[in-house]
Every structure is written in C-alpha cells, then in structure tokens.
C-alpha cells in the first residue's frame, strides 16, 4: 500500500494578496502559505478542475456563492504561492460542475461551468505573460434543471452535461460560432 502525503495546500475560500508574512505561524507553513491573506467573505469550494495544459500549473474552482476563479501557482522566489489568476463570470447559485477542455493545438482553452441556476457557461480563457488569464464568455446555455456534471470529449469540441432530469445533453459549436445541443441521449 502506498502512502499519500499532502504536497501543498492553500486557502481557496479567501482571496489572497501576496505580501510576506513577518510573524511565524503556529505550525510550520508550506511555502505557498507564507503570506497574509486579504480577507473576503469565506465561501466553500464546491468543485475543482485542473488545467490540462502542461505549461501552466493552474486549476479552476467553483464556489457555493456562484463564484468561479482560476488559481495558478506563482513560483517567484522567495515567495512561492497559489494566487487568483482570474475571476470568471458568476452563476446565480452554487457551482456544481467544471470542465477544462484539452486545447488540442488551440491558442486558448475552454472552461465550462454549471450549477444550481440551470445554466452552462462556456468561457474562452488564455494565459497572459503576467500570469493571469484573459477570458470571454462564448455561450450561456439554458437547461431545464440543475447541472450536476460536465465533461469535454478528448478533442475539447463536444461538451456533455447531465442534470437532475436524468438526461445527458451534448453541446457543440456550430460553423457560425454559436453553441447548441447536438443530441439528447437517454442513458
């Protein structure tokens, strides 16, 4: 049996501003926790998804209050930390599902978000030289029920969604650039 250990941790429920911490913490902090957080209302993280890119260490987090944030690891000695790289468009309720599409040669990534507001947002994101992410909402798709799961196909061109109605919906971008359902299979 292999033993798993915590590699690192950070407080994703609080937005952080990276200023060195002059006071020692009660326990020995990991390098990513050696800063004083700027307090904002605490919000539970409800879902996470890693970036499939091998060039950036980033993940997207969905929150109980509808917020969606991209976090990236900043490795600038002496400060090494996770920080918010982008605030993506919010949902009107809890975020249940996130999916970060494989880029497959595109100069940008696609992130899909869904939640209790029965909306799916498809967001185009592109890493910047400064370590942040530019973003643009490509689609705001309405569903009849809450979104519980999202998953991209291997090429990042078709999005599958599932919800409380027991249906799986497949979404694809048309030649004209709009997004819409392709098939509603009944698993």
Question: Is the bond preceding residue 78 a cis peptide, omega within 30 degrees?
Answer: yes
- Give me the pLDDT at residue 37, please: 44
For the chain, give every domain's residue range. Answer: 45-72+88-183
Tens place of pLDDT for every residue, the chain, 187 residues?
Answer: 666 766 667 677 654 434 333 333 333 444 444 443 445 557 899 999 999 986 678 999 999 999 999 999 887 777 788 889 999 999 999 999 999 998 888 889 999 999 999 999 999 999 888 888 999 999 999 999 999 999 999 999 999 999 988 889 999 998 888 998 886 556 5
* Domain range 45-72+88-183, its CATH number among 2.60.40.10, 2.40.10.10, 2.130.10.10, 1.10.760.10: 2.130.10.10
Pairing of strands 95-100, 79-88: unpaired
Residue located via tokens 């890693």: 50
- Give me the pLDDT at residue 4, please: 72
- Could you tell me if 123 and 88 are in contact, meaning their C-beta atoms sit under 8 angstroms apart? yes
- Give me the pLDDT at residue 17, please: 39
Q: In whole angstroms, what is the distance from residue 101 CA to residue 109 CA?
A: 6
Q: In whole angstroms, what is the distance from residue 142 CA to residue 185 CA?
A: 17
Q: Which residues pair with 158 in a beta bridge?
A: 172
């Amino acid at each position: 049996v292999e033993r798993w250990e915590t590699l690192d941790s950070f407080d994703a429920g609080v937005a952080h501003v990276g200023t060195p911490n002059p006071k020692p913490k009660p326990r020995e902090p990991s390098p990513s926790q050696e800063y004083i957080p700027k307090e904002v209302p605490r919000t539970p993280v409800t879902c996470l998804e890693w970036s499939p890119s091998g060039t950036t260490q980033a993940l997207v987090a969905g929150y109980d209050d509808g917020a969606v944030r991209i976090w990236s690891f900043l490795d600038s000695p002496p400060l090494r930390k996770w920080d918010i790289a982008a605030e993506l468009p919010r949902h009107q309720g809890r975020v249940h599902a996130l999916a970060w599409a494989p880029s497959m040669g595109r100069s940008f990534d696609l992130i899909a978000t869904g939640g209790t507001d029965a909306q799916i947002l498809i967001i185009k994101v592109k890493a910047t030289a400064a370590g942040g992410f530019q973003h643009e909402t490509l689609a705001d798709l309405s569903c009849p029920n809450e979104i519980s799961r999202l998953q991209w196909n291997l090429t990042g061109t078709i999005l599958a969604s599932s919800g409380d109605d027991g249906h799986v919906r497949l979404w694809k971008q048309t030649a004209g650039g709009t997004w819409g359902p392709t098939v509603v299979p009944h698993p």
